[in-house]
Structure 1
Amino acid sequence: MYGLIFDIDGTILDSMHIWIKPLEDIFKKYGYDLNKIPKEKKGEIEALPFYDMCEFLAENIARDMTKDKVIEYFEQAIENAYANDLLPKNGAVDFLKDLKKKGYILSVASSTDYKYLEKALKRIEIFDLFDFVATPDTIGYNKSEKDFWEYSIKKHGKFPDNLILFDDALYAIKAAKREGIKTIGIKDFPWNEKEWDYIKKEADYFVDEISNFDIENL
């Protein structure tokens, strides 16, 4: 039986706007266009843990803002959204509950800090479906790094080709595939629309909604 790894933002939660819109706005304010950055570099930025991303912005984009000011800029919107507002994507909760009932081991692989994920996943009552949660702030590695996926592989206790990642981000799909993990690309328009053709080529499978994937026919 496969071990199943789930990204959260854009895959389980309809939440990418909470991250991307403020990121696009801060780039635009300082004369840059996030969407014109090469896709690999854009993926690297989006893969950064929250505090590393804020440091990157303070040092490279918003040069008149300190790291603490950039953190404050994001946290005003983010913490409240995860605690109170963000909703699961269509069919995602029932999909996860059904997989759990069938005996699959589920885990999280996210770039978002654990403290935010925990609030959202508990609020929509799916936190306990996951056997473990891997985030850069808890394990010390980013999703673009080999060690991140080696951690998940070891925790699942399976060979990589017996693991499946569900993710909406090209960089994460590519990184997991390099370690031998099977990948399912999830459409999350408009946020991954510019990457979608690349995701379809890179991922082993792809679906418009996570609930459309029939794992029994894999």
Structure 2
Amino acid sequence: MDVPDGAVLFDMDGVLVDSETYWHRFEDEWVFAEAIESGSPAHEEVTGMPYYEIYDYLDAEYGTAVPRERFLATYEERAESLYGEQVALTAGVRELFDAIRADGRTLAIVSSARRSWINIVRERFGLDPLDLVLSAEEIDEPGKPEPHVYEHAAAELGLDPAECVVVEDSVNGIESAVRSGAFTVAFRSTHNADLDLSRADAEVGSFEELRALLLDRAA
């Protein structure tokens, strides 16, 4: 398999930390139960989107039962405890980050989460140094599943997206990476076990498998 040996761009939620399990619970208990007018959205419809675009999507598709300001404030309040106290780091993240740095490759986090949320995870789990951290809120373009955030990340690193490997877990995130032209790796876990991730170029189920794909030149 011809895997680019340039930058490695990691999504955060559901890849570096197990936050999607907690976000799905929040969606079931409040977002889908109280914040929409009717219907039963599937988690994959909104997973990977910036939270401020989730409101717009739900409003258009299902109608919203709470004002936008309350919706966003509730997400922001939930994020503080979720990232600061609840999530766990995925096994093997630090070891793989060290190996990528030792290999002389560029390392980045590219996420739909707010920069402040990413910083909580970076500091709590000691993920620095990173060559780039980019939040979707920092670009004046639509977020995932549109390709812009990965196009911007590659440009900031002075690379073509085709020189980058993106590691994603959501349908929307994978679509974003694929449409940017990056080599896209789907990270399979319990929260996305039943989803069709076949748009990705490759799939792994652990950071050990990911390390072999990224660093074993015979892969």
Structures share fold, TM-score greater than 0.5: yes
Aligned to 1:207: 204
> Structure 1 residue 110: deviation in Å?
0.7
Q: Which amino acid aligns with 2:134?
A: A
What RMSD over aligned residues (CA atoms) do the two structures have, in Å?
Answer: 2.3
Q: Secondary structure at the match of 1:175?
A: helix
Aligned to 1:138: 138
Q: Which amino acid aligns with 1:34?
A: P
After TM superposition, list the pairs within 5 Å mapping 1:169-184 onto structure 2.
169-184=170-185
> Structure 1 residue 147: deviation in Å?
2.5
Q: Secondary structure at the match of 1:18?
A: helix
Q: Equivalents in 1 of 2:215, 2:57: separation in Å?
A: 42
Verify the 8 A CA contact 2:166 2:184 in the aligned structure 1.
yes
| TM-score (ref. length: structure 1) | 0.83
Q: Secondary structure at the match of 1:133?
A: strand
Aligned CA distance change for structure 1 residues 63 and 183 (closer, same or farther; 3 Å): closer
Deviates more, 1:90-99 or 1:3-12: 90-99
Q: Which runs of 5+ in 2 are unaligned?
A: none
Aligned to 1:17: 21
> Structure 1 residue 91: deviation in Å?
1.2
Aligned to 2:69: 68
Q: Equivalents in 1 of 2:187, 2:171: separation in Å?
A: 10
Verify the 8 A CA contact 2:144 2:173 in the aligned structure 1.
yes
Aligned to 1:105: 106
After TM superposition, list the pairs within 5 Å mapping 1:7-46 onto structure 2.
7-25=11-29, 26-29=31-34, 30-35=37-42, 42=45, 45-46=46-47
Q: Which amino acid aligns with 1:93?
A: R
What are the Cα deviations for residues 136-168 of structure 1, in whole angstroms up to 9, with x where unaligned?
111233132232222122122223332100110
Q: Equivalents in 2 of 1:11, 1:31: separation in Å?
A: 31
Verify the 8 A CA contact 1:49 1:137 in the aligned structure 2.
yes
Verify the 8 A CA contact 1:164 1:182 in the aligned structure 2.
yes
Normalized per residue, the structure richer in helix is: 1
Aligned CA distance change for structure 1 residues 61 and 181 (closer, same or farther; 3 Å): same
Verify the 8 A CA contact 1:97 1:129 in the aligned structure 2.
no
Matched length: 207
What are the Cα deviations for residues 82-135 of structure 1, in whole angstroms up to 9, with x where unaligned?
123322111112111221122110111111111111011111100x23211121
> Structure 1 residue 63: deviation in Å?
3.4
